[in-house]
Amino acid sequence: MKKHIYTLMGLFLSLFLYSCSDDDKGPGNPVITIELDAVELENVMFGDSLSFNIGVADADNVPLSTLKARLFFSDEMVSETVIRTKTYDEYEGKIYIPFLKDIPNGTATLVFVLQNINLGITEQEFELPLTRPEYPYLTLVTADKEYKLLPTTNYEYVAEESFPSKVPGYIKTPTLTDRGNVMTFGWDADQVKEETTRPIPFSNSSAGEYKISFNTLTYNAAPFIIGYTINGEPMNRADENNFSIDLNLEPGNEVVVDGIDGFDTWWIDQDFFSKEEDKLIFKPIEGEYRITANFELEYLRVEVLDNGELATLQPDGSGAIWIIGDNIGKPSLANTTGWNPGNAVCMAPIEKGKYRVTLVAGKNVSEDSIDFKFFYQKEWGSEFGSDALSTDSDLVFVGNGDNGRDSGNLGIIEDKSLTVGSTYQFTVDVTAGLDKVVLTVKEI
């Protein structure tokens, strides 16, 4: 036992003496050997990766820790490369020169920092003249085609040819030298940003010949002139495929849609509009509504508002009723609502306390099975269960938890089905109170 104790004491003494030996060396004296001549520091551009080769050591033989290459624009560090220096040796690396918006040609500062394990540090600093690349062209990359933008002046690049009304795509550059990188510019948080390929929503009021431009200094891009209007009021961009507007409407109002190519082929929601020759006529009761033009699905989604917010059902029966669940979708079952509150269908208020959804079997609603229910709001929360909702329909039943559907969920009666191609109106009547709600279903 004593032998083991003596052995451990000897080990601790050795570690102590070794530690003292390192402490005797003090902080050390890291040494950088680097040669960067004027040629290597010329013609460096934003977006380049600058290579370096550096010899490292310590004059006091203290082991090294890290070599850091740092780039500063004014006093801000914008790029850093860290290399672990396990031995005295030569190390190769690269530091990236960021391509950033609104940074003019000028002189950056390149700093090399060598540190040893005792936190001894030495630095070498170089001035690095930088210029913004002037490319022979840029490429606009879309899902099905590429377009070349040619240089004009002041870092502006332009393509002019026949374009669709919407040209979502990202921009990429060629490389000019062997240390250059392909730069990409895309869409991020409603602005153009470098190093992303999310499509920029270039768009024009109509298809045809027009210019698409991009500036690699200011990141200004054009056009985003969306000429989509309803009743002369411009629609606001919600995202690449959706543009919306909030309007006060009443039954019989004409709804004039301008600027949408091919709008005459869009699906018309008969709960909210009737089509009289080339005119759209609004059908529900007077109120505030949000109309969203969905360009992917090609229809106008209409939702009831209350003081600019999505409406909820009120104790007096006013407001809105929302449908969430399976086997229903607008404009078709390809856009099934599902159990996703964000995709809830807003029923049309046909009079105070009465709400309607009109569905075509096989198109908007499944003919042999349904499983959806009615909610007070476009989110989880209050809903109509079997204790509040009833129907005397000979096609549809209200689930109670024991008949094949959860409480309040609708189902099709066994051995029954909706007739494919036929139109059905589901009307919810809350005029007798929110605990005495009646559903009627009729074929029209």
Closest to 104 measured CA to CA, from 127, 73, 150: 73
Q: Are 149 and 171 in contact (CB under 8 A)?
A: yes
Level-2 CATH architecture, domain 30-131: Sandwich (2.60)
Closest to 172 measured CA to CA, from 199, 191, 132: 199
Domain boundaries, the chain: 30-131, 138-222, 248-309, 311-444
Closest to 239 measured CA to CA, from 198, 299, 210: 198
Using CA atoms, how far apart are residues 131 and 111, in angstroms rounded to an integer? 19
Q: Are 305 and 290 in contact (CB under 8 A)?
A: yes
Q: Are 54 and 33 in contact (CB under 8 A)?
A: yes
Q: Are 52 and 94 in contact (CB under 8 A)?
A: yes
Closest to 215 measured CA to CA, from 97, 131, 132, 146: 132
CA atoms within 13 A on the CB side of 261: 12
| Same fold? 30-131, 311-444 | yes
Closest to 248 measured CA to CA, from 282, 285, 287, 281: 287
Residue tagged 């030495």 (tokens): 122
Fold of 311-444: Immunoglobulin-like (2.60.40)
pLDDT 10s per residue in the chain (444 long)? Answer: 333 333 333 333 333 333 444 445 578 899 999 876 544 677 899 999 999 999 999 999 999 999 999 999 988 999 999 999 989 999 999 999 999 999 999 999 999 999 999 999 999 999 999 999 999 999 999 998 999 999 999 999 999 999 998 899 999 999 999 999 999 999 887 789 999 999 998 988 778 999 999 999 999 999 976 568 899 888 887 877 888 999 999 999 999 998 787 888 999 999 999 988 888 999 999 999 999 999 999 999 999 999 999 999 999 999 999 999 999 999 999 999 999 999 999 999 999 999 999 999 999 999 999 999 999 999 999 999 999 999 999 999 999 999 989 999 999 999 999 999 999 999 999 999 999 999 999 998
383-416 burial, b for 16+ CB within 10 Å, e for fewer? bbbbebbebebebbbbbeeeeebebbbbbbeeee
